Chain A
Amino acid sequence: MLKAVILIGGPQKGTRFRPLSFEVPKPLFPVAGVPMIQHHIEACTKVPSMKEIVLVGFYQPNEALSRFLVSAQQEFKIPIRYLQEYAALGTGGGIYHFRDQILSGSPEAFFVLNADVCSEFPLPEMLAFQQQRGDPHSFVMLGTTANRKQSLNYGCIVANMETCEVLHYVEKPSTFVSEIINCGIYLFTPAIFQHIGEVFQRTQQELLLGACLGSAIYASRLYLSQYSQCHPERLAPNSPEGPTIRGNVYLHPTASIDRSAVLGPNVSIGKGVMVGAGVRVRESIILHGASLQDHTCVLNSIVGWDSTIGRWARVEGTPSDPNPNDPYAKIDSETLFRDGRLTPSITILGCNVTIPAEVVILNSIVLPHKELSRSFKNQIIL
């Protein structure tokens, strides 16, 4: 039998996520309409003989997490447990600390997934790959290709091209080692616990999605495009009575959308959201209960829970996407400020923010419960 361990980390030191992490732990942040780690859980449940999923992290017990565990277990019909670390132990430290629980029931192997990673999760393929190698005690690390410059931010893998055996591994090298980077998705056997050592010394918090929210929109786009194959029912159809849908859009069934609105591509609209007449939303995530009044334009932004955007207002961020022409592009790690100025990035409105009519909010971060009275550009508003 198999198990999966999902490393969910703990309260973020990460900066740009802050306005929204006040309300919800990052692993539960909705990406493409469902909590982030639900994508991981769904992928795990597709692997036959997966018997248990274990979440390891250092969040204090909280209501949101508990509720999620209950509903996920009901929906996916598989035991899901949360094991809380007393401190941030790092990816290796965490699974080592809970090795007894992980090994209870004697699984032949177990996957380890980093909650921060957004992926297609080729878990059955990794399993087949391991079985093909022949050695029942080999571990599998999923690699992907980055460009030379970006690879320096990740764990770099040098592998034998034929046997795929990992020859050399360096975490965040200062000079170029390899374009193949560590995805943060592994398949281990119980023997790993003898090997936990220098490969996993450091916490791997700065993996593909890092601590930044700009990537939530990018991850959303990836998952939404996967939905056309694996969850077509989650994508909003274009119907004559409804709003105009361009590309992949997730609409919660309780959202109320005026038929003259134009949504997408890459838009997620949460529970109970109100979208008024003539509204345009593109490349954005609109969280539960938010209200977009007539003629507003929301681009490259995250609108927090229960926020309100007044008529004709414009809320706009700058996509921090990797170069779309580079098929192996990954998100560049971000600095919040550059040359003393806020680097242009997606606009984030915290929960319960009020944007008045007719203003423009550009490349800014607004903390929760703030009521603005004018336009802002390239600023953090406390």
Chain B
Amino acid sequence: MKALILVGGYGTRLRPLTLSTPKPLVEFCNKPILLHQLEALRQAGVDHVILAVSYMSEVLEGAMRTQEQRLGIRISLSHEKEPLGTAGPLALARELLTESSEPFFVLNSDVICDFPFTDLVRFHKHHGKEGSIVVTKVEEPSKYGVVVCEAETGRIHRFVEKPQVFVSNKINAGMYIFNPSLLHRIQLRPTSIEKEIFPVMAQDAELYAMELQGFWMDIGQPKDFLTGMCMFLQSLRVQHPERLHAGPGFVGNVLVDPSAQIGENCTIGPNVTIGAGVVVEDGVRIKRCTILKGSRIRSHSWLESCIVGWLSSVGQWVRMENVTVLGEDVIVNDELYLNGANVLPHKSIAESVPEPRIIM
């Protein structure tokens, strides 16, 4: 089977991290986002993945060569030279997608959840219609595309993008499966799948919704990246508790790369991810953070709800909170206070940031 992943462009919402690394390669819970998806797809029987990108990155290409070998799947890159929206890229990859008569997956690259690809194939083949989309229940549906469907069969009646009044609390979770015949509906021009394609399919009674069980998050921006991390770690606790770190000084769900070093008298967690080669010195308190590869957190510092970029160094007695994000190779001097600071790569911070602000 095949899958198309809508990777898109510069990943601007996840800056400053995406100034150094293409978004699909940013590590989420110690594994590149894209790799979470590739592994789940492969497990569901996918052997060919097409990445639809609007910005071609050599780094991404190189990383995909490595994954091809490692996972034993074929990875193609489909590069849109002008913006094609959320449906256009499918038309661009038409030849690749129609190599086979089997249904193919489409997913947004920012989505994290307990991927239900095997169930989705089964659900799709059962009703036999043209398309199935995964939906999830949220508390604030007005931010998303909302789905109105029949409870029993999942047949979709209506598809409403960002509704002003409450219509339903089920939203489009950004994962689909289609028969290749869908491609007749899409032309090679900027097209929105949610606004132009789905409503017509719904009218034709060709679109079905499968409800996702478990957690779901769009991790395309730092605040949601951290929330998604908490959800993912909790699901690890349920399914693979042995992968989480335990011991004195560790609280709740904590994921630590084996090559990381943690000092004495630290209290780490809950909801912390510590990447490869990270050094955490003595007396450090970390809660609800992602610490990316190669960083150093110096002694007696206190971090909550932060992302520390690769190879950064946080000084002694530093306090960081409120979705402070450090880009790659940032140095924070001793004894500073960062509240909601968004720091671009290679910066040295010598002054406190008491109120949220971007540091260029």
Binding site for B on A (CB under 8 A): 277-280, 282, 294-295, 297, 299, 311-312, 314, 316, 358, 360, 362, 377
What are 30 contact pairs spanning A and B, CB under 8 A? A277-B283, A278-B282, A278-B283, A278-B299, A280-B300, A280-B316, A280-B317, A280-B335, A282-B335, A294-B265, A295-B285, A295-B300, A297-B300, A297-B317, A297-B319, A297-B335, A299-B335, A311-B285, A312-B300, A312-B302, A314-B302, A314-B319, A314-B337, A358-B285, A358-B302, A360-B319, A360-B321, A360-B337, A362-B337, A362-B354
Contacts of B316 in A (CB 8 A): 280
Binding site for A on B (CB under 8 A): 265, 282-283, 285, 299-300, 302, 304, 316-317, 319, 321, 335, 337, 352, 354
Q: A279: nearest residue on chain B (CB-CB)? A: B300
Contacts of B354 in A (CB 8 A): 362, 377
When A297-B317, A314-B319, A362-B354 are in contact, do A278 and B337 touch as well, CB less than 8 Å? no
Contacts of A312 in B (CB 8 A): 285, 300, 302
Q: A282: nearest residue on chain B (CB-CB)? A: B335
Tell me, rounded to whole Å, the shortest Cβ–Cβ distance linking B263 to chain A. Answer: 11
A62 to B173, CA, bound (A): 73
A314 to B352, CA, bound (A): 13
Partner of A295, one of B283, B321, B337, B352: B283
Tell me, rounded to whole Å, the shortest Cβ–Cβ distance linking B207 to chain A. Answer: 48
Tell me, rounded to whole Å, the shortest Cβ–Cβ distance linking B352 to chain A. Answer: 8
Is the pair B283, A294 in contact by a Cβ cutoff of 8 Å? yes
Q: B284: nearest residue on chain A (CB-CB)? A: A295
Q: A294: nearest residue on chain B (CB-CB)? A: B283
Q: A362: nearest residue on chain B (CB-CB)? A: B354
When A294-B283, A312-B285, A316-B337 are in contact, do A278 and B319 touch as well, CB less than 8 Å? no
Contacts of A277 in B (CB 8 A): 265, 283
Contacts of A362 in B (CB 8 A): 337, 354
Contacts of A358 in B (CB 8 A): 285, 302, 304
Contacts of A360 in B (CB 8 A): 319, 321, 337
- Taking A277-B283, A280-B317, A314-B337 as known contacts, 9 extra A-B pairs with beta carbons closer than 8 A to each other, sorted by chain A number, are A278-B265, A278-B299, A278-B300, A294-B283, A295-B300, A297-B300, A358-B285, A358-B304, A377-B354
A311 to B335, CA, bound (A): 15
Contacts of B282 in A (CB 8 A): 278
Tell me, rounded to whole Å, the shortest Cβ–Cβ distance linking A294 to chain B. Answer: 7
Contacts of B302 in A (CB 8 A): 295, 312, 314, 358
Contacts of A316 in B (CB 8 A): 337, 352
Q: A360: nearest residue on chain B (CB-CB)? A: B319
A351 to B338, CA, bound (A): 28
A294 to B265, CA, bound (A): 10
Q: B266: nearest residue on chain A (CB-CB)? A: A295
Contacts of B321 in A (CB 8 A): 360
Tell me, rounded to whole Å, the shortest Cβ–Cβ distance linking B269 to chain A. Answer: 13
Contacts of A314 in B (CB 8 A): 302, 319, 337
A176 to B299, CA, bound (A): 51
Contacts of A295 in B (CB 8 A): 283, 285, 300, 302, 317
A122 to B16, CA, bound (A): 57
Q: A311: nearest residue on chain B (CB-CB)? A: B285
A316 to B265, CA, bound (A): 23
Contacts of A297 in B (CB 8 A): 300, 317, 319, 335
Tell me, rounded to whole Å, the shortest Cβ–Cβ distance linking B159 to chain A. Answer: 44
Contacts of B300 in A (CB 8 A): 278-280, 295, 297, 312
Contacts of B317 in A (CB 8 A): 280, 295, 297
Contacts of A282 in B (CB 8 A): 335
Tell me, rounded to whole Å, the shortest Cβ–Cβ distance linking B328 to chain A. Answer: 26
A337 to B357, CA, bound (A): 24
Contacts of B337 in A (CB 8 A): 314, 316, 360, 362
A280 to B335, CA, bound (A): 8
Tell me, rounded to whole Å, the shortest Cβ–Cβ distance linking A262 to chain B. Answer: 8
Contacts of A311 in B (CB 8 A): 285
Tell me, rounded to whole Å, the shortest Cβ–Cβ distance linking B210 to chain A. Answer: 43
Tell me, rounded to whole Å, the shortest Cβ–Cβ distance linking A357 to chain B. Answer: 9
Q: B304: nearest residue on chain A (CB-CB)? A: A358
Instruction: Pick the 10 closest A-B CB pairs, nearest first.
Output: A278-B283, A278-B300, A297-B317, A295-B300, A280-B317, A312-B302, A295-B283, A314-B319, A312-B285, A360-B319
Tell me, rounded to whole Å, the shortest Cβ–Cβ distance linking B95 to chain A. Answer: 57
A377 to B321, CA, bound (A): 14
A297 to B337, CA, bound (A): 10
Contacts of A278 in B (CB 8 A): 265, 282-283, 299-300
A294 to B302, CA, bound (A): 12
Tell me, rounded to whole Å, the shortest Cβ–Cβ distance linking B237 to chain A. Answer: 24
A284 to B166, CA, bound (A): 55
Q: B316: nearest residue on chain A (CB-CB)? A: A280
A299 to B334, CA, bound (A): 12
Contacts of A279 in B (CB 8 A): 300
Q: B355: nearest residue on chain A (CB-CB)? A: A377
A5 to B300, CA, bound (A): 49
A321 to B354, CA, bound (A): 19
A267 to B321, CA, bound (A): 27
Q: B321: nearest residue on chain A (CB-CB)? A: A360
